[in-house]
C-alpha cells in the first residue's frame, strides 16, 4: 500500500530489500545469507546479525564464494524445518548452484533464491556477468517458480508469494538498474494485463522484468499510429500457466495471428517465448552473449528499444 501511495523508481534488488525489511521483522523464522555478495544482493536487513560459533541464534549466514554450498545448505535448513532460508548471488552464477536448485525443486524445499544483476542492464561488467540463457533455463526446472518482477510493487508481490509457498522453491531475478513503478498489483497470477489497448486491439505485448518498461513505450508509439496494443506483464510463467483457462484466454486472446499479433520482449534468449507468441508472433531478445557498456547503450545495441521494435511490428501487421 505504501508503494502505491508513493511510487518509487528503484532497482528491483533495492525493492527486494524493502520487502525483506518487512518480512524479516514480521517472521522470526527467516534466515538469510549471500555467497559473498551481500552489498550487491541487498539481502541483509536491519536487526539481522551474522551467524557465528559464538552466536547460533543469529539469522544471517556469510556463505563465502560458494554458490553451490550455500544452496545445498539452504536445502538442509528447509528440510530440517522451522526456518525459511533465502540466499543471494548474481543470476549468472546460478550455473554454479544449479544442481542444488534442482534438488530444492525435487525435494519440495521452501527455499528462496535471490538472484540479482539479471540482464545486460547490469552494464560494464560485460558478457561474463550478463545472464542471457539463465532465466529461460531456470524456468525449465519443474516445481521451481521463477519470478522476474518489473518494479517495486511486483517485487513485493513476488516475495509475498515466495514466502507463502510451502511446496517448493522460488527464485527472484532482480535488476541492478532503476525501474519506474508501473504496476498497481496483479503479479500473484503470474501474468496480467498491465495496460489495455485504447485503439482497436491489434497487438499484445508480453514482457517481464525491466523490459516491461520497453513494452509500455512500444504501446505508446503504436497507439499514436492508431494501432491498439495491450501490455501484459509476465513475471512468473509457471504461475500464469496454472491459472484457469478462461483467465489465460482473457489475458492472451486466442485469436488468429493476422487478427492479433503477439510480441514478446525480454533481454534474454528468445527460445521458449513461442509458447505465448505462437509461431507467427514476434520475439525480441538476445540470442548471443552480452557486451560491456552502459545499460542504455546495450539495450540500443541489441535492438531492445521502442524505436527499434515498433517499425518491425508495423511491418509485420502489413504482411
**SS3 track for 94-139:** HHHHHHHHHHHHHCCCCCEEEEECCCHHHCCCCCCCCCCCHHHHHH
Q: Which pLDDT band holds residue 180 (cuts at 50, 70, 90)?
A: very high
Q: Verify that 202 and 267 share a domain, yes or no.
A: yes
pLDDT of residue 240: 98
Q: Verify that 167 and 213 share a domain, yes or no.
A: no
The phi and psi torsions of 23 (rounded to 5 degrees) equal -65, -50
Question: Could you identify the residue written with the cell 505485448?
Answer: 205
pLDDT tens-digit profile of 228-266? 999 999 999 999 999 999 999 999 987 665 589 999 999
pLDDT of residue 215: 99
Residue 265's alpha-carbon distances to 282, 298, 306, 318, in angstroms, are 9, 15, 10, 20
pLDDT at 43 over 90: yes
pLDDT of residue 102: 99
pLDDT tens-digit profile of 71-86? 999 999 999 999 999 9
Query: Which of the listed residues 129, 150, 179 is the one where a domain comes to its end?
Result: 179
pLDDT at 101 over 90: yes
pLDDT of residue 7: 82
pLDDT of residue 55: 97
Q: What is the CATH number of the domain that holds 162?
A: 3.40.50.970
pLDDT at 126 over 70: yes
pLDDT tens-digit profile of 133-178? 999 999 999 999 999 999 999 999 999 999 999 999 999 999 999 9
Termini Cα distance of the chain: 45
pLDDT of residue 319: 83
Q: What is the CATH number of the domain that holds 221?
A: 3.40.50.920
| Averaged confidence pLDDT in the chain | 96
Q: How far apart are CA 205 and CA 216, in angstroms?
A: 8
Which residues are designated catalytic? 67
Q: Which domain holds residue 223?
A: 187-318
Give the percent of the chain with pLDDT over 90.
93
Residue 209 carries which DSSP code? T
pLDDT of residue 256: 65
Q: Verify that 133 and 281 share a domain, yes or no.
A: no
Q: What is the DSSP string of 75-93?
A: HHHHHH-S-EEEEEEEGGG
Q: Verify that 131 and 227 share a domain, yes or no.
A: no
pLDDT at 8 over 90: no
Q: Verify that 175 and 209 share a domain, yes or no.
A: no
Q: Verify that 250 and 312 share a domain, yes or no.
A: yes
pLDDT at 66 over 70: yes
Amino acid at each position: 500500500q505504501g508503494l502505491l501511495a508513493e511510487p518509487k523508481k528503484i532497482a528491483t534488488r533495492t525493492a527486494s530489500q524493502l520487502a525483506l525489511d518487512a518480512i524479516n521483522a514480521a517472521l522470526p523464522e527467516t534466515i538469510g545469507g549471500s555467497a559473498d555478495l551481500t552489498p550487491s544482493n541487498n539481502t541483509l536487513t536491519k536487526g539481522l546479525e551474522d551467524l557465528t560459533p559464538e552466536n547460533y541464534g543469529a539469522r544471517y549466514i556469510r556463505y563465502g564464494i560458494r554458490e553451490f554450498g550455500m544452496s545445498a545448505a539452504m536445502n538442509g535448513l528447509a528440510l530440517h524445518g522451522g526456518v525459511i532460508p533465502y540466499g543471494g548471488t548474481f543470476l549468472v552464477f546460478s550455473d554454479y548452484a544449479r544442481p542444488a536448485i534442482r534438488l530444492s525443486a525435487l525435494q519440495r524445499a521452501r527455499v528462496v533464491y535471490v538472484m540479482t544483476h539479471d540482464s545486460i542492464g547490469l552494464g560494464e561488467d560485460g558478457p561474463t556477468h550478463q545472464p542471457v540463457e539463465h532465466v529461460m533455463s531456470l524456468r525449465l526446472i519443474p516445481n521451481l517458480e521463477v519470478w522476474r518482477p518489473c518494479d517495486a510493487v511486483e517485487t513485493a508481490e513476488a516475495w509475498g508469494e515466495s514466502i507463502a509457498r510451502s511446496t517448493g522453491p522460488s527464485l527472484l531475478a532482480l535488476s541492478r538498474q532503476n525501474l519506474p513503478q508501473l504496476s498497481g498489483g496483479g503479479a500473484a497470477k503470474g501474468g496480467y494485463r498491465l495496460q489495455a489497448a485504447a485503439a482497436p486491439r491489434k497487438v499484445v505485448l508480453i514482457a517481464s522484468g525491466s523490459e516491461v518498461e520497453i513494452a509500455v513505450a512500444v504501446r505508446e508509439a503504436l497507439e499514436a499510429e492508431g494501432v491498439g496494443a495491450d501490455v501484459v506483464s509476465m513475471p512468473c510463467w509457471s504461475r500464469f500457466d496454472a491459472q484457469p483457462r478462461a483467465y489465460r484466454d482473457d489475458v492472451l486472446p486466442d485469436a488468429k495471428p493476422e487478427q492479433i499479433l503477439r510480441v514478446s520482449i525480454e533481454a534474454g534468449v528468445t527460445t521458449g517465448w513461442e509458447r505465448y507468441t505462437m509461431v507467427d508472433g514476434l520475439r525480441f531478445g538476445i540470442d548471443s552473449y552480452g557486451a560491456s557498456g552502459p545499460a542504455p547503450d546495450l539495450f540500443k545495441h541489441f535492438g531492445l528499444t521502442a524505436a527499434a521494435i515498433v517499425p518491425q511490428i508495423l511491418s509485420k501487421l502489413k504482411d
